[in-house]
């Protein structure tokens, strides 16, 4: 069995959920990442900004939006070591203004994911994945991008069977591609 890694960025604290600001003890993307780790036994790596986003939701989105407009690549706390040992990467993120948050760009531009099988999963509350998957394909042109999972954040606890089915399919697809 190939070695798997779940890489994700998620933000707990104040979040936009079903039209209201709510406090989340665990971010939606982190919740899915935890399930993947539990079901597959994969290793896990959380992408963290060196300087975290502001706790206040409104300040956070203003900050993150400016970061996106200016193309800022924030410094990360750490990068994962020994990525070469992994064949399969589950890559998770929330959607910010139709694409990935800028810490994902920092990670993807600094990690060698050549020839890795990447299975993206993302959560959203308003827009859906829109440009994030196109951006991911562009940044990971030397990787094999598999079927993505896109779930509305406020629905994740109702979508456990969907998430589990997707994970099972990703692992099966990986096994099949090894034979071919």
Helices (H) and strands (E) in the chain, counts: 5, 8
Q: Where are the domains positioned within the chain?
A: 4-179
CA dist., res. 109 & res. 85, Å (int): 19
CATH of domain 4-179: 3.40.50.360
Assigned token pair, 60: 């956070």
Rama region for 64: left / alpha / beta (φ>0; ψ in -120 to 50; rest): alpha
CA distances from 22 to 56, 101, 108, 114, 154 (A): 11, 20, 30, 38, 11
pTM of structure: 0.93
Assigned token pair, 56: 């206040």
**Which position has the token pair 């750490």?**
78
Q: Which helix (H) or strand (E) holds 44?
A: strand 43-46
Give me the tens of pLDDT residue by residue for the chain, a chain 180 residues long. 589 999 999 999 999 898 899 999 999 999 999 999 999 999 999 999 999 999 999 999 999 999 999 999 999 999 998 999 999 999 999 999 889 999 999 999 999 999 999 999 999 988 777 788 899 999 999 999 999 999 999 999 999 999 999 999 998 866 544 543
């Amino acid at each position: 069995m190939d070695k798997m890694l779940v890489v994700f960025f998620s933000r707990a604290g104040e979040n936009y959920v079903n039209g209201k600001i709510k406090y989340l003890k665990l971010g939606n993307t982190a919740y899915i990442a935890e399930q993947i780790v539990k079901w597959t036994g994969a290793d896990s790596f959380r992408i963290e900004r060196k300087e975290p986003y502001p706790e206040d939701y409104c300040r956070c989105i203003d900050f993150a939006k400016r970061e996106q407009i200016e193309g800022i690549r924030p410094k990360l706390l750490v990068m994962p070591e020994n990525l070469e040992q992994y064949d399969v990467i589950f890559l998770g993120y929330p959607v910010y203004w139709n694409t990935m948050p800028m810490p994902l760009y920092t990670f993807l531009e600094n990690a060698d994911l050549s020839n890795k099988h990447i299975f993206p999963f993302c959560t959203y509350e308003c827009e859906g994945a829109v440009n994030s998957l196109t951006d991911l394909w562009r940044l990971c042109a030397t990787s094999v991008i598999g079927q993505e999972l896109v779930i509305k954040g406020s629905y994740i606890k109702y979508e456990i069977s969907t998430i589990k089915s997707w994970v099972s399919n990703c692992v099966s697809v990986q096994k099949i591609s090894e034979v071919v």
